Amino acid sequence: MKFKVIPSHIAVIMDGNGRWAEKQGKKRTEGHRAGATAIDRLLDVALEYKIPAISLYAFSTENWKRPITEVNAIFNLLIEFIDTRLDDIQKKGIRIQHSGNRSKLSKKVLEKIDGAAKATQKNKKIVANFCLNYGGQEEILSGFHRIQAARKESRVPLDKPISPKEFEKYLYTHPLPPVDLLIRTAGEQRVSNFLLWQIAYAEFFFTNTLWPDFGRESLEEALVFFESRKRKFGGLA
């Protein structure tokens, strides 16, 4: 398909892995595994349409509430994802980035995600931003703490107003642009603590498709929707 406008940054709340598995009488882990192959498809179509940045909500700061067996399965799948895809990702020119709080992530997970980010840092085609132990509220608070620490260090008065531009440098997603299009699968219409700062003027696309079933047609449907929106950013169109 041809599109007149392409979003600079798409954020995806990949929801419905558990329901997909349940529908087929499979274990929830099988849903997450199928979800990983949907990421492969999404990245291929994103490359084709030259979508510069994709943020993937893979594990939230609230997902620790799940049974430890499921949490471990998700992280093991992530490690497997990087191990089995890194060469391909490299060949395709995809740059890997991580957004999220590092403190609760295991050494192994950090090693994998940092290794993938380092190995792909020169890639220019698209950025795949994996949001792991990510929460929008935590990101804003941690950004605030870090900006204040930096100001203290350089003796800038701590009560000097902070501009949004300056603050954005302290978000995990830096230097990615604001989100133009937010996609959430599996019929839920909520944000679940994803990229709260970055979605200020995003268009929202909700679909009943479960994440493991998301493919080319689903992304094209979202791009058709995005193209049809009249964006005003608070001004007059």
Q: Which residues are known catalytic residues?
A: 15, 63
- Residue pair 129/43 in contact by the 8 Å Cβ criterion: no
| Burial status of residue 8 (CB atoms within 10 A of its CB: 0-12, 13-18, 19 or more) | middle
- Strands across the sheet containing 9-13: 94-99, 126-134, 53-60, 9-13, 181-184, 203-206
Report, in Å, the least distance between residue 1 CB and Mg ion.
29
Contact residues toward Mg ion (CB under 5 A) are 15
Q: Is 10 in the site for ligand IPE (CB under 6 A)?
A: no
Q: What's the 3-state SS for 179-217?
A: CCEEEECCCCCCCCCCCCCCCCCCEEEECCCCHHHCCHH
Binding partner at 74 among ligand IPE, Mg ion, none, C-beta below 5 to 8 Å by kind: ligand IPE
Window 124 to 183, contacts with ligand IPE (CB under 6 A): none
Binding mask 51-80 for ligand IPE (x = CB under 6 A): ------xxxx--x----------x------
The nearer residue to Mg ion, 21 or 176, going by C-beta atoms, is 21
Q: Which of 219, 210, 218, 217 is nearest to 26 (CA)?
A: 210
- Residue pair 212/34 in contact by the 8 Å Cβ criterion: yes
The nearer residue to ligand IPE, 75 or 226, going by C-beta atoms, is 75
Q: Is 104 in the site for ligand IPE (CB under 6 A)?
A: no
114 is in an annotated binding site: no
190 is in an annotated binding site: yes
224 is in an annotated binding site: no
Residues that bind ligand IPE (CB under 6 A): 13-19, 57-60, 63, 74, 186, 188, 190, 192
